[in-house]
Chain A
Amino acid sequence: AQSVTQLGSHVSVSEGALVLLRCNYSSSVPPYLFWYVQYPNQGLQLLLKYTSAATLVKGINGFEAEFKKSETSFHLTKPSAHMSDAAEYFCAVSDLRNDYKLSFGAGTTVTVRA
C-alpha cells in the first residue's frame, strides 16, 4: 500500500531563509506525487505535482520539488521564505494500484519569523 511520511510536524524559518520540507513515500508502482498548501481557514491549493516527467518540478509561489526514486523522496524547497508562506503543507501520493486515491502525509506547519 502507498504511504507518505513527512519529517517534521513544524518548521520555523526566518524571512529570506531557505524553506525545506521533507517527504518520503512508499509505493509499489510508479507514483504520482503532490504538494498541497493550506493557508489558515482555507481549502487545499495545489503547489506542484510529479507525474513521471521531469524529476525537478517547479510549482507556484517559487516552490520546487525534486523526485528522487533511489531515496523515495519528494522534498519541497523554496530558496527565500516570505511571510506569506506561513501555512500547512501536505505531501500526497497516488498510484494506479489504489485507483489514484490520494494518501496524505500528516502535514508540516511552516511559520516564518520576521
Chain B
Amino acid sequence: DTEVTQTPKHLVMGMTNKKSLKCEQHMGHRAMYWYKQKAKKPPELMFVYSYEKLSINESVPSRFSPECPNSSLLNLHLHALQPEDSALYLCASSQEGNTIYFGEGSWLTVV
C-alpha cells in the first residue's frame, strides 16, 4: 500500500484566516515532504521532515508553518496568505534515500 492521504481536498480562505492542511501516511516512511505546485509547472519542494525533525526548509515564507506531530502525520499551518499562494499543495513520504510517494493534494484558493 503506497497511500498518502491529504485533507481537505479543497480549501478557500481569506487573507486574514488561519487554516491547516493535513497529511497522513501509514507506510512507516521516515521522511515526509510538502511541495507546492502551480498550474502547468512541476512541484516545488517546501519542507522536508526526517525522523520527525525539520531537515530542509527551502526558504519558505513564515506564513507557512509546518508541523510533524508524529511519524505518520504532517501538517501545514497557513496564516496571512496572499492570493499568489493559491496552488496545489502536495504531501509526500519516503523511506530515506528511496522513492517518494505523493498524495492527491489539497487545492488552496486564497481570496
Q: Do A and B originate from a single complex? A: yes
Knowing A44-B43, A46-B2 touch, does A99 contact B56 (C-beta < 8 A)?
A: yes
Are B100 and A102 in touch, CB under 8 angstroms? yes
Find out whether the CB atom of A34 lies under 8 angstroms from the CB atom of B99.
Answer: yes
Number of interface residues of B (CB under 8 A): 24
Whether B45 and A101, one on each chain, are in contact in the complex, defined by CB atoms closer than 8 angstroms, is yes
Tally of A interface residues using CB under 8 Å: 24
Chain B residues within 8 Å of A, Cβ to Cβ: 2, 6, 40-43, 45, 48, 55-56, 88, 90, 94, 96-105, 107
* Seed contacts A32-B99, A46-B102, A107-B41; 17 additional CB < 8 Å A-B pairs: A42-B105, A43-B102, A43-B103, A43-B105, A44-B43, A46-B2, A51-B98, A90-B43, A99-B55, A100-B96, A101-B45, A101-B56, A102-B45, A102-B100, A105-B42, A106-B42, A109-B40
Which single member of A44, A96, A106 contacts B102 (CB below 8 Å)?
A44
CA distance A88 to B100 in the complex (A): 18
